[in-house]
Copies of this chain bind each other. A is one copy, B any other.
Amino acid sequence: MTMSLTPEYRYEYHKKSVERYLRNHVAIAHPRSLYMPCKYILSAGGKRIRPVLALLACEAVGGAMEDALPASAAIEILHTFTLVHDDIMDHAPARRGRSTVHTKWDESVALLTGDILLGIAYRELLATKSSRIQEILKVFTDGMITVCEGQAMDKEFETRNRVHVNDYLCMIEKKTGRLVSVSTEIGAMIGSGTAVQVQAMRRYGFYVGRAFQVQDDLLDIIADEKEFGKVIGGDLQEGKKTYLLLEALRRAKGKQKKALEDVFHKRKVARSRVAEFRRIYEETGAISSARAQIENDLHAAKEELAGLPSNQAQKTLLWFADKMLNRKY
């Protein structure tokens, strides 16, 4: 049915399938004080990258995307659980243009909403029909544990005196990369991929996930504010230890190093100084380094696709890596 779609349309089609599945399978049950915020946050939109990649990975190895729908929804719900809890920890007032759960309700509700989302995620995953269900659950659970480890590392970095850019890459591999690689790995398993195909899809997800996070850091400083949908320099203003800050710190000397160290230690930069830091990031080569990191990762991701059958889903995964390279938001 979806054989002759353009990659763009195929992506949208899969995204809509996931959203329909989420709407139909996560009902407002009792107690409503718990299920209302679940519905609220699951319907908040977002790019749905993880579940769509899971569906594509399933098709890319020859499976039917419908078989991977419950698992792809499970992955999106798991991702949503991490957002709800992270937002509590970060005291974030808004996400995707809407109030966060702990702002709209309260922290207890948000805590419990995150918890039950995780239960619902497992419930949906368990609806998967596959002889490899135990293996699939192990990968999913490993992803869940790894995301928590990544978030704990991120929190540790906030108060650490030294963070190398390699520590940062290790953190985002856990916090962001692993869940994307879980998506493609599980998708390929449900599609009955061979061990080699499953590993290739896992690595594709890993590279894409890591590139995505570094690109998020980059867009925070170079994007068009309107297109990006977030304030430019937001990371600097929040004193976040990003790829750019850590890479610039490693490369800078003299006054520039001093300015970066101030950000690192004292945190938070006035909005008026964002342009100054953008210049430092350019002059130290941190921006070129981030670009190279992203390009290398996306190139590696595409190489992983070479061994797969050349079908529409594989083409969409190739297109997705290229699109990421040029994404503006």
Contacts and interface: CB of A to CB of B under 8 A. Distances in A.
A38 to B, nearest CB: 10
Contacts of A123: 138, 141-142, 145
A24 interface: no
A297 B227 CA distance: 62
A137 B155 contact: no
Interface in A74-122: 85, 88-89, 108-109, 111-112, 114-116, 118-120, 122
Determine the main DSSP class of A at the interface with B.
helix
A30 B34 CA distance: 33
A275 interface: no
A113 to B, nearest CB: 9
A153 B31 contact: yes
Size category of the binding interface on chain A: 35 or more
A2 interface: no
A133 B130 CA distance: 13
B126 A141 contact: yes
A313 interface: no
Contacts of A112: 85, 89, 148, 151-152, 155
A119 B121 CA distance: 12
Contact of A34 (B85, B109, B148): B148
A121 B269 CA distance: 41
A310 interface: no
Contact of A145 (B120, B144, B151): B120
A119 B134 contact: no
Contacts of A156: 31, 33
A123 B151 CA distance: 19
16 contacts: A31-B156, A34-B149, A34-B152, A85-B112, A85-B115, A108-B155, A111-B111, A114-B115, A116-B148, A118-B144, A119-B148, A122-B141, A123-B141, A126-B138, A126-B141, A134-B134
